[in-house]
Amino acid sequence: MVNQIPSLLEAFKRYAKEQDVEQYNKLEEVMLDGLSIPVLGDLSFLKECSVGFLSLSNCQVGAIDHPFPEGTKIERLELNSNNLADKKSLEGLGNLKDSLQELHLANNKFADLDALSPIHSLVNIRILNLIDNPVGGVEDDTQLAKATYREGLLKALPNLQALDGLDRN
């Protein structure tokens, strides 16, 4: 069993030490996959960070319980294989609207398009990955369900270039 880390800030500090980086806010890429961080905690420290790529896959994250601060520079965020399930779990992404270009949410628990409504504000998103979520048609394998899912997201995110690994066209 992996020890639970109390906050994302603590995980950043540990990762910086492992990478021989003197200050955590100088990190440009942070991969914390597999660490147990179910509660991300206060994210205000990210405003002072240089991180452009953050991976929190398989970290038991159940929600982004505090909003990312305005001015955060994250361009690529991976939250694959966590416990994200509803729109409340994504509300903290709103302030990434200017920077975020790639969002990976594969293998979570999103059951319908309404659960994904907070990502509609991410106007610069180019790549979205929702593979292996119930909303993507894994459980409802009908062509109509898949078409409605794809069309709904492409309409809501006009700058999206790829959805689930497939080009917009």
- Which CATH code is given to the segment(s) 8-164? 3.80.10.10
- List the chain domain ranges: 8-164
In tens digits, what is the pLDDT along the chain, a chain of 169 residues?
Answer: 457 898 999 999 999 999 999 999 999 999 999 999 998 989 999 999 999 999 999 999 999 989 999 999 999 999 999 999 999 999 999 999 999 999 999 999 999 999 999 999 999 999 999 999 998 754 445 444 556 889 889 999 999 999 999 999 8
Give yes or no for a contact between 91 and 66, defined as CB atoms under 8 angstroms apart.
no
Burial of 137 (0-12, 13-18, 19+ CB in 10 A): buried
Q: Residue 53: helix, strand or coil by DSSP?
A: strand
Question: What pLDDT is recorded for position 141?
Answer: 52
Q: What is the pLDDT, as a whole number, of residue 69?
A: 96
pLDDT at 144: 45
pLDDT confidence of residue 8? 94
- Residue 94: the pLDDT is 94
Alpha-carbon distances, residue 97 vs 44, 114, 126 (angstroms): 16, 18, 12
CB atoms within 10 A of CB 166: 8
pTM summary value: 0.92
Question: Which residues fall within 8 angstroms of residue 18, CB to CB, at 6 or more apart?
Answer: none
pLDDT of residue 65: 85
Q: Sign of dihedral through CA atoms 53, 160, 165, 63?
A: positive
Q: What is the pLDDT of residue 3?
A: 72
- Burial bucket for residue 125 (CB in 10 Å: 0-12, 13-18, 19+): buried
Tokens of residue 61, six digits: 């994250």
